[in-house]
Amino acid sequence: MADLSVETTDIPGLLVIRMPVHGDARGWFKENWQRQKMTALGLPDFGPVQNNMSFNAHRGATRGIHTEPWDKMVSVGTGRVYAAWVDMREGDTFGTTVSLELDPEVAVFVPRGVGNSYQALEDNTLYSYLVNDHWRPGIAYPALHLGDASAAIPWPIPLDEAEISEKDTKNPSLEDVTPLPARRPVVLGAGGQLGQALLAALPDAVGLTRADLDLADAEAVAAFPWRDHDVVINAAAWTAVDDAETPGGRPGAWLANASAPATLAALSRKHGFTLVHVSSDYVFDGSQETHTEAEPLSPLGVYGQSKAAGDLAVAGAPRHYLIRTSWVIGEGKNFVRTMQSLAERGISPGVVADQHGRLTFTSDLADAIRHLVSTRAPFGTYNVTSDGPIVTWADIAKRVFELSGRSADDVAEVSTAEYGQGKNLAPRPVHSALSLEKIKATGYLPRNMDDALVAYCRS
């Protein structure tokens, strides 16, 4: 008896599963869907929600080629079928065909956009398929004629001898099929620093601002076509840390940082998209010099508390990447640009020297998100910042002054308490550095912070 295995094919994402069948005098038994074992071998954790059975009374019954807009895993309960698949998706592999005989020991994972068909090779054949979306009436999807010359499927039983539905005899040829477009990722918070970087890194993405879609608007959320998107990246947030402590700011911080992620997590569970959510080092109190992904949440202020609540909500989405980052620098107003301006104007500032961490450049953060999604890294929480030595805000200011032609000595070091005199500042973690071992284990190597800072200052 063969071991469980998963094999790739010429159609990207179409996977063949060889599965053990345990038999004795009473019959046989098999694990037709075993999430833990199969996903460990590379099968997507596609989240089936419906199981359909198709009984074929006579040899020669032939069905397809249908391209429903969901993933499915097809198998045989009894009998044998000759199955064929045609890639109907936009791209270089459009029209690629794979065919295979299925019996109880062989199953196939069919990704959304790949046409599926089969022909019963025995009487009383039972064909089964798991799908990750509920069937709904009125769904339109591409179909292909079973005898299409370009697909050239070598049906064991000639089609003029097979039993075919009238509907399938009227399906178009491949040259008349409109390819199924790829589902495009969505970037929420597209107008912000990170949102802009994500749209640059993901040119096919749909960028939305709050004016385009307000997650607090139940009608707008219900009307949005979530099923048309496979990845939703939440780069929207309330980032005014000090204002979050005020009576006017507190509700806004909780709405953006906690309620909105909770809404997205619920939508991810319902519609099956992968949720990417960006969080912060402020979910920790800074008592640890370096924070791992597993450290318990311990936020100090309202901003951190609202972000921590969002983290807990996102963790409930089956397919999620929770990205924690710190000291973010992108296009627009930020700490580095402020220091450059001060250096150019001959001003010598006092900068906090008792908060420790690393910068994160939005282009790198966007690149890391793209890496996690495209490589299908294991879902979960990942820290993403620049790499290199842990520094203070004063250290960064001194380096920016040097890169601007000023002396590092022109930056005075002050304590957080000194800087905060006369100001209503929210509490800040003393240590914001995040461990990068987990993201590195996926094959992504963050840029050295100083190299990134030099490039940024020269841009």
The neighbour count for residue 71, using CB atoms within 10 Å, is 21
Peptide bond before residue 396 is cis, with ω within 30 degrees of 0 = no
Strand (E) or helix (H) holding 366 = helix 362-374
Q: Are 31 and 117 in contact (CB under 8 A)?
A: no
Q: Is 66 a catalytic residue?
A: yes
User: Closest by alpha carbon to 384, among 253, 283, 291, 255?
Assistant: 291
CA separation for the pair 246, 228 (Å, rounded):
39
163 φ, ψ (degrees, to nearest 5): -100, 115
CA separation for the pair 78, 75 (Å, rounded):
9
CA separation for the pair 196, 79 (Å, rounded):
54
User: Closest by alpha carbon to 327, among 350, 361, 278, 369?
Assistant: 361
User: Closest by alpha carbon to 335, among 403, 394, 252, 415?
Assistant: 394
User: Strand pairing partners for 382?
Assistant: 323
The neighbour count for residue 112, using CB atoms within 10 Å, is 22
Half-sphere exposure of 139 (CA within 13 A, CB side): 15
Strand (E) or helix (H) holding 431 = none
Question: Of 66, 141, 229, 419, which is the active-site residue?
Answer: 66
Question: Of 82, 129, 282, 321, which is the active-site residue?
Answer: 129
Hey, which residues are catalytic here?
Answer: 66, 129
